[in-house]
Amino acid sequence: MIVYFAGTPYDGVAGTDRQLADRLNALHPVLYVDPPVSLLTPLLRPHLAGAFRPGMRLRQEPSGVWRIRPRVLPGMYRPGMHHVTAALVRRAARRTGRRVARGAGDRVAAVVVATHTDLLDAVPGARRLLYVTDDLVAGAELIGLPRRRLAAARDRMAARADTVAVVSPLLRDQFEARGIDAELLPNGCAPEAYEGIGAAPWPDDVPRFDRPAAGFAGHINARIDLGLLEAVAGEGHPLVLIGPHDPGHHPARFRALVRRPNVCWTGRKSFAELPSYLGTIRVGLTPYLLDDFNRASFPIKTLDYLAAGRGVVSTDLPATRWLRAFPGGRELIRSESTPRGFLRAVGEELAAGPAPDLVARRREFAAGHDWSRRARSLAGLVDRDPLSCAQEEPAP
């Protein structure tokens, strides 16, 4: 069994942690440990209340993944209290993991930590893998935790981990500059989810525009260059925004944007609904701000757009360059470093006809980066197998 300490709730956004855990479970039983909650969590974070139901104990998801949500004391990440929180989470995971493993005639073989809390030693004797999915130190202000504490926890775990895996080329470079070997384990996609996209019903809350639409799927928050979305809409292109908006991210500008007649904002949608919504657009947008936090990221949406057969226009992120280095990637993914270039690329992609062979090549490209492949690579690292994600990287 593998104990997977996630940075996001299982029933929240179906991102890296859930996608990997579901597919890893086909290779090893997985206990998914949600971020901890206290009784105050739903009150302090009401926009996430649905993903933080209090009182949830051990359960098994339809994918077969076992899951717990540790309950801790209020003020869980305050100075001093964060040590208590870590101890409570470690104890809950250790006891539950051993109990579930014994019931299946198994044992806890490995611990994967994909969060900012030092939980590597939760199960003594288990193999320890640190999986860094964001540069949390660069994003300290965004997540509201002290930069010094995040850096200390990262360095402490990296020094003790049996293996360090990272989600992006820039993160790998950062660790190697500190003398730590890091395996590249990028984000992936689920091409099978979009097999029937052509027959997916048109959503009731998206109008049928008289021209092809561009679209954005994901959180509209401080990571997103709102000016690029405003520029696309300002050119008169239909724009579909799929996902929640952070109320603190330029609220007045966002309200003005979604009031435009050529802009449709759907709000939060589940992963299961995404094919229907991506079916309403011709080109998907990855308009990330080019700051230190985003440069170290690997946006899932870029591969999701391709898996849905859509064109992609992204800002010039290192992860985007990595994808474009694969055969065919430069043709299928537009990467722009200036607002003018971004807007021009969107217009060109919208003007291009939906050629069936191009749609097929986009989907084929995405299939080479599916989550099952990523999970096999992670299992290889856990099993001390020589397989590593670096083998997927194209030759220079």
pLDDT tens digits for range 103-114? 888 999 999 999
Q: What is the dihedral of CA 365, 369, 371, 373, to 10 degrees?
A: 120
Burial class (CB in 10 A: 0-12, 13-18, 19+), 124: exposed
Question: How much is the pLDDT for 122?
Answer: 96
Mind listing the pLDDT tens digit for each residue in 112-159? 999 999 999 999 999 999 999 999 999 999 889 999 999 999 999 999
Which helix (H) or strand (E) covers residue 101, if one does? helix 81-103
Percent share of the chain, pLDDT over 90: 85
In this structure, whether the domain defined by 2-188+370-392 belongs to CATH 3.40.50.2000 is answered with yes
Distances (CA, A) of 240 to 196, 198, 203, 307: 20, 18, 12, 18
Mean predicted confidence (pLDDT) in 184-195: 96
Question: What is the length of the chain?
Answer: 396
Q: Which CA distances in Å does 12 have to 65, 74, 102?
A: 15, 21, 29
Give the pLDDT confidence of 330-339 residue by residue, as tens digits: 999 999 999 9
- Considering the four listed CATH numbers 3.20.20.140, 3.40.50.720, 3.40.1710.10, 3.40.50.2000, the one that applies to the domain covering 191-367 is 3.40.50.2000
pLDDT of res. 44: 57
Q: Where are the domains of the chain?
A: 2-188+370-392, 191-367
For 194-231, how does the pLDDT look when each residue is reduced to its tens digit (9 = 90+)? Answer: 998 989 999 999 999 999 999 999 999 999 999 999 99
CA distance 352 to 269: 28
Residue of 378, 379, 396 lying closest to 187 (CA atoms): 378
Encode pLDDT of 8-41 as tens digits.
Answer: 999 887 899 999 999 999 999 999 999 998 876 6
Amino acid at 333: I
Angle in degrees, CA 88, 91, 97, rounded to 5: 135
Q: Model confidence at 46, in pLDDT bands (50, 70, 90)?
A: low
Partner residues linked to 242 by β-bridges: 217, 267
The pLDDT of residue 388 is above 60: no
Rounded to two decimals, the pTM is: 0.91
- Please give the pLDDT value at position 385: 44
Cα separation of the two ends of the chain: 37
What's the rounded mean pLDDT across residues 356-372?
Answer: 96
How many degrees, rounded to 5, is the angle at CA 278 between CA 277 and CA 283?
A: 140
Q: DSSP string covering 24-57, please?
A: HTTTS-EEEEPPPB-TTHHHH-GGGGGG--TT--
Instruction: Look up tokens 């856990």; give the residue.
Output: 382
Rounded to 10 degrees, the C-alpha dihedral 185/189/191/194 comes to 180
Residue 214's DSSP bridge partners are: 239, 283
Q: What is the mean pLDDT of the chain?
A: 92
**What are the φ and ψ backbone dihedral angles of 282, each rounded to 5 degrees?**
-105, -30
Closest-CA residue to 229 (of 217, 135, 276): 217
Query: How many CA atoms within 13 Å lie on the side-chain side of 2?
Result: 29
pLDDT higher at 237 or 388: 237
Whether 327 contacts 392, CB under 8 Å: no
Retrieve residue 234's tokens.
Answer: 């300002």
Which 3-state string (H, E, C) describes 227-282?
HHHHHHHHCCCCEEEEECECCCCCHHHHHHHHCCCCEEEEECCCHHHHHHHHCCCC
pLDDT 10s digits, 156-184: 999 999 999 999 999 999 999 999 999 99
Q: Is residue 43's pLDDT more than 80?
A: no
DSSP annotation string for 361-383: HHHHHHHTTBHHHHHHHHHHHHT
Pairing of strands 66-68, 59-60: antiparallel
Q: Is the pLDDT of residue 77 over 80?
A: yes
Contact 303, 366 (CB under 8 A): yes
CA atoms within 13 A on the CB side of 69: 19
2-188+370-392 and 191-367: identical CATH topology: yes
pLDDT of residue 395: 41
pLDDT at 378 over 60: yes
